[in-house]
């Protein structure tokens, strides 16, 4: 599987939050709990902002800190702008922009936050270089990445049961971010100081297994399964449902949860 393109993210922008089942928001809350103090003098870059989860969480704790959100997906930016307008956010701007070519002057931001963004860039080293360039001296950067995406296992197993050895689904690899030590090295080698990589484990939660299956197949139908006959799709969905049943955990609130383990790498310029 190739790294996702902007068009792919635009296609899923309206359902992204539901697909991730609260996992990215959980991690977003965690990174803000370890961030240096945010106040009116801060200037925050929400880099590869997606649907604006980090910006929304910042606004829940500080109404005035200036935030600049950017994403290379026009669909994601449309969602974020709608969120901003709906909630009357002040000192907030959202722009469609390539995180590997930031259109900001040197030494602009006090906080540079990339919640599951830079690690997916085609050239994440270039993304880090741009993040560092636009960060003020003494400013703080945080980059999150996944070390375990729980739904990859049932997807991979289902595809191989449906069409053995077809290699229709191969989980994407992000070699600069896939382990705690490697993520630490990547951020350190980009020139940041006082680097630390933390493990933060959470879950993607849905009300039932059927929702997990529906959300997975809805995006697959637009890509890998777009030319499949309905009979094949139905057969595959039944197999996928069976594979999800093997890995989900039911929590105290009755949610069907899939493990999602993250790495939170942060440092100072």
Q: For residue 267, which phi and psi values (nearest 5 degrees)?
A: -170, -175
CATH at 110? 3.40.50.150
The model's pTM is 0.91
Residue 215 lies in a domain: no
> Is 70 contained in some domain?
yes
Domain assignment present for residue 83? The answer is: yes
Does residue 79 lie within any of the structural domains?
A: yes
Instruction: Report if residue 159 sits inside a domain.
Output: no
Report the number of distinct structural domains present in the chain: 1
User: pLDDT tens digit string along 25-81?
Assistant: 999 999 999 999 999 999 999 999 999 999 999 999 999 999 999 999 998 999 999
Compute the mean pLDDT over every residue in the chain, rounded to the nearest whole number. Answer: 91
How far is C-alpha 218 from the geometric centre of its chain's CA atoms? 18
Quote the pLDDT of residue 166. 76
> What is the number of other CB atoms lying within 10 angstroms of the CB of residue 175?
9
For residue 224, being part of any structural domain is answered with no
For residue 93, being part of any structural domain is answered with yes
Residues 6+ apart with CB under 8 A from 211: 256
- CA Rg, the chain, in Å? 19
**Residue 222 domain-assigned (yes or no):** no
Domain assignment of residue 135, given as a range? 6-149+172-206+259-268
φ, ψ (nearest 5 deg) of residue 7: -60, -35
E strand or H helix at 197: strand 193-206
Residues 100, 141: Cα–Cα separation, whole Å? 15
Q: What's the count of helices (H) and strands (E) in the chain, helices before strands? A: 10, 8
Better-predicted residue by pLDDT, 90 or 12? 90
């Amino acid at each position: 599987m190739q790294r996702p393109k902007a068009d792919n993210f635009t296609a899923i922008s309206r359902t992204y939050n539901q697909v991730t089942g609260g996992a990215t928001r959980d991690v977003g809350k965690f990174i803000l709990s370890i961030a240096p103090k945010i106040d009116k003098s801060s200037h925050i870059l929400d880099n590869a902002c997606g649907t604006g989860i980090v910006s929304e969480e910042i606004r829940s704790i500080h109404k005035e800190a200036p935030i600049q959100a950017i994403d290379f997906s026009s669909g994601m930016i449309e969602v974020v702008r709608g969120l901003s307008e709906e909630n009357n956010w002040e000192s907030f701007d959202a722009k469609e922009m390539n995180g590997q070519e930031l259109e900001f002057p040197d030494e602009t931001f006090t906080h540079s936050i990339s919640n599951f963004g830079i690690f997916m860039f085609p050239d994440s080293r270039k993304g880090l270089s741009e993040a560092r360039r636009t960060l003020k001296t003494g400013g703080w950067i945080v980059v999150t990445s996944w070390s375990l995406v729980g739904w990859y296992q049932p997807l991979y197993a289902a595809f191989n049961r449906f069409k053995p050895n077809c290699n229709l689904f191969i989980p994407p690899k992000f070699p600069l971010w896939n382990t705690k030590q490697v993520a630490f090295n990547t951020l350190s080698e980009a020139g940041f100081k006082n680097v630390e990589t933390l493990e933060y484990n959470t879950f993607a939660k849905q009300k039932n297994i059927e929702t997990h299956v529906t959300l997975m197949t809805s995006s697959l139908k637009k890509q890998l399964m777009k030319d499949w006959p309905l009979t094949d799709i139905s057969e595959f969905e039944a197999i996928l449902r069976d594979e999800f049943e093997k890995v989900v955990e039911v929590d105290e609130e009755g949610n069907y949860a899939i493990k999602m383990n993250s790495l939170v790498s942060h440092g100072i310029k």
